[in-house]
Each structure stands twice: as structure tokens, then as C-alpha cells.
Structure 1
Amino acid sequence: MFSSFVSLAQTIKTYSTDSLRIENNKQIQYNAKQLIIPGVLIGYGIIGIGSDQLEAFNFEIREEVKENIDRKFSIDDFSQYTPAAATYALQAFGIKGKNNIRDKTIILASSYLIMGLTVNSLKKITKVERPDGSGFNSFPSGHTATAFMGAELLYQEYKDTSIWYGISGYIVATGTGAFRMYNNRHWLTDVVAGAGIGILSTKAAYWLYPTINKLFASKENTNKKSTFIPYYDGKQLGFGFVSVF
């Protein structure tokens, strides 16, 4: 992990200071209305834990899925990362998003940190059994949260270029959640809550970015910026260091 951040730092050094500025302060401003959709999704999942009606609905869907399963597909293990990876692929092909690589990476890492801490904390607190009986860490779906986190990032970065980039990201994220149920790894409530957490994590990262950037920016040299990028891989929490000249 550290070596990847070193490589990233070397890449970022090739950019001039002007190219690393946030043009016209294009960051998302906090708006309570943005909490509605992720709030409803997360709320549905949480209510579903203690609701007999929603729990029965979970079992109905599981039974429907089981009847039509011929074999399992592990595509969701990879598709969860596709939306986030697409933001870098588009930039590599010369399609500019809202932010440059440095800013985008800080936002993505912050989103992943928020999402990872939230998902794993809820798994330990709720201890919901998985549909296949393999463990008591079903709620919420981490794969789905990761996918929707990336989809929201893709949407925010490229919605002004073309709305279809964001829509494509959300289609992939939705497919990831569907495959988690198809593979009998999660209940519907797990997937819905995971989607809400993923979306909210990215929104929060955008809201917090100006503060994070100011907090870790070097004050000794106006032409140099040093940034600590948080990361969380599901097991370890840490920070990477990026220095921009």
C-alpha cells in the first residue's frame, strides 16, 4: 500500500501547482436535501433488521433467487471497484472531470475510509446472519457500499461532462448488489443499506475535502503541498503521504 502512494506522489509531481488547484471551487456544498435518498436507503435496511414484514420479504426474495440459481458468479468481487476505477480510466483517456488526480484521490480515499468504518462497525453491532449461513456479518453489504461509493464519485466528477457516465456507474453498482443476492451472500435489506452508505460516504468526503485539504496542506512553502491520504482495506486503517511540488 505504501509503495502505491509513493508511485502516486511521483506522478503528481509532474503536474504544476496551477494544474492542481480546484477550479472555481467546484466542490459539493452541504445540502440537507442530499441526505434524503441515502437516508431512506439506510433507514430501510435498519428498519428491516427488526421488522417481521421486511424480514419475510427478504426470505421471499431469497427463495425466488434460489429457485433460479444454476451456478454462482463471482463478478461482484470485481464489479464493486469498476465505478471508482472508471473515474481514473476516463481521465487517462483525456476526459477531464471536476477534479484533478490529486484531489480526486483524496476524496476517494476519504470516502473509502468513511464507508469502511461504517460498514464494519455495523457488521459487528448488528451481527445479522448471512443467507447462506456462512457468518454473522451480513448487514450491511460491503461490496454494494463500495460499488455505490464509486458510482457516486463517478457521477459527481463527470455529471457536467455527460450524465451517462454517472448512470453507467449506478447501473454497475446496482448489478453488484443484485449479484450479492444472487450468490446468496446478502439479504435485500443488506444491499439497500449498503447502497445508501456508499452514496453518503462519497457525499461526506466531498463536503469534508476543503477542511481536509487545509488541515494537511504545508504552510511552510506555498509552492509545496503535503497531504495525508487515509485508507482502509477492511482490516487495517492507515494513512499514505503525498507531497506535491
Structure 2
Amino acid sequence: MNRYILKTITAGATLLFSVFSAAAQDTIRVADSISNKTTIWQRLKQDAFYMGGGVIHVYTGPLRWKKDDLATIGGFAAGSAILFASDRETSSFMRRQKEDMPETLNDIGWSMGSPGYNYAITGSVYLFGVITDNEKFRKTGVLLFSSAVTSGVMQTAIKNIAGRSRPDKERGPFHFSPFSSDAGDHSFPSGHAMLSFTTAYAIGKQFKNPWVKAGIYTVGLITPASRVWNGAHWLSDVGVGMGLSVLVVESIDKYLKAKETYTPDDKKKVSWNLTFGNESIGIIGSF
């Protein structure tokens, strides 16, 4: 089963990465002289700085909240309350569907929300950007890493403080044991849902085509849905987790845009295209 999961995720990561390369039709910066180029080490240092800055930007966000932000938070809280109120019924319905769900979806759902597999995809996107000095890929990688770290710390803290019981413990949706060390009391919010949807939402933001966006977001929804029908989380756990993911990604994306650091050089372009061969797949740059 582990070999099957690894092949599934490897293939998925390769396809996602290749589609991203072909669809984005982005360019890498080609300097006019060697002196204008940055080294890989310089890029790594710069990107690490902005990754840390993105994380700090999110956690200091409340200090910058304005009227519109408060309205957004209010709407988010109201929506979360509705999900909480429907948890018992939605969980019961979703869990009854489990036997009809393909095992493949369960495997993909678990893997996409697992840090190891998820960071493999994130790392592939980022390393490609660093090695080729591709601003678009570098920015996406920075956005992915900083969003994942922010979401990870956030969900871990909330889980431990809330101590909400998981559906499969059969204690009901309103059983809380704050600061419990029992994994069965770490239901809210869903870490798998947050990580998978953070990645999907951050990548989806790089495309203008609504159909491409929809496809990527649909993949990101597999993990949240599977966590509910497997009884690992309530609907509100994954709903709130996904909502927090969107807020985190949007906040860090706004931070990176304000810095105006990742701007492609249009003086000379290299177009990256997806190619297929005999039992092979690759990317070719055209000057």
C-alpha cells in the first residue's frame, strides 16, 4: 500500500508540476551580463527572508485590521457557527457514504494532507524557481512554504487549546477537553485539510483560467472531504481549516506583492513548454 501511495503521489506531483509549467507560460530572467545575475545562494537567502516575513505578517495582522477586515472576520465567524450547528447531521450523512468511496480517494486524501508528500510538491516548485531563477516559481514556492508553516503552527496551537473530540470517538460535536494530550481530542481544526487546501489555493492563484483554478481547487477538496467521511473530523473542522487557509494565503500574497520583489524581467524571455516522449515527460525552454 505504501508503494502504491508513493507512486500515486509521485505521479500526481509530476503531473501538477508539469501542468503548472506548461499552463503558466512564464519566463525566467536572463541577465544582459554575468554581473547582473544572482547566485543560487543569494536567492535562497532572499527567499528565506520573505518566507519569515510572510509568517510574521500573518500573525501581526490583527494590529492592522480595519473596518473591512472586521466585517470579513465577522462573516467568517457566522459561517463557522452555521457549520458547527450542522455537524451532527452532516457527519452522520458523510460517514454513511464511506463504503461507496473508492479507496484511491482515501489514499490521495491522506497523502495530500501529509507534510512529507505535501512538502515534496512545494519543494519541487520552489527548487525549480531557484535553480532557473524563475521569478514566478520562486514567488509561488515562497508563498507555499510560508503559508504551510503559518497554517501548521496555527492549527497545532488551536487543536491543543480547543481539545475537541473527533467524530469517531462518539462523544458528540460539542465535547471539548482543552489542552488534552489525547489525539482523539485534536479534531478542531483539521490539519490535513488546512495543508492540502493551502497548497491548492496558493497554486490556483497563479492561474487566470477559471477552469484550471476549479480543477486545482477540486483536487484540494479531496482531503477535507475524505477526513469527514472517514470520521476523523467534523464538517466544521475542515470548513474552518479551509477558511483559515484562504485567509493565510491571501495575507501572505498581499505581503509579497507589496514588496514588489518577484517581478519577471521582460528584456529577454525563455518560454517553458511541456513535452512528451517515449515513456518520458519533460520541459523545454525556448529562447
TM-score range, shorter chain: 0.5 to 0.7
C-alpha contact 1:87 1:154 (8 A) present in aligned 2: no
CA distance in 2 between counterparts of 1:150 and 1:58 reads: 25
Q: Secondary structure at the match of 2:238?
A: helix
Structure 2: 5+ residue stretches without partners:
1-37, 47-64, 129-133, 170-182, 262-287
C-alpha contact 1:83 1:173 (8 A) present in aligned 2: no
CA distance in 1 between counterparts of 2:166 and 2:142 reads: 33
1:126 matched to 2:175? The reply is: no
> What are the superposed Cα offsets for residues 35-88 of structure 1, whole Å, 9 maximum, x if unpaired?
85x975664335645x4xx24324432553357579693321223367993895
1:64 matched to 2:96? The reply is: yes
Q: Which amino acid aligns with 2:231?
A: N
Question: RMSD over aligned Cα, in angstroms?
Answer: 4.2
2:108 aligned residue: 75
1:230 aligned residue: none
Q: How many residues align?
A: 182
CA shift at 1:151, angstroms? 1.9
Q: Which has the higher helix share?
A: 2
Distance 1:211 1:181, change over 3 A: same
CA shift at 1:172, angstroms? 0.7
1:44 matched to 2:59? The reply is: no
Residue 116 of structure 1 is aligned with which of 152, 166, 184?
152
CA shift at 1:142, angstroms? 1.2
1:13 matched to 2:39? The reply is: yes
Distance 1:136 1:174, change over 3 A: same
CA distance in 2 between counterparts of 1:151 and 1:15 reads: 28
CA distance in 2 between counterparts of 1:119 and 1:46 reads: 18
Structure 1: 5+ residue stretches without partners:
1-11, 21-29, 93-97, 215-245
1:199 aligned residue: 246
CA shift at 1:165, angstroms? 2.5
The structure with the larger Rg is: 2
CA shift at 1:147, angstroms? 1.8
Please give the TM-score of this superposition, normalised by the length of structure 1. 0.57
Residue 148 of structure 1 is aligned with which of 185, 191, 197?
197
CA shift at 1:171, angstroms? 0.3
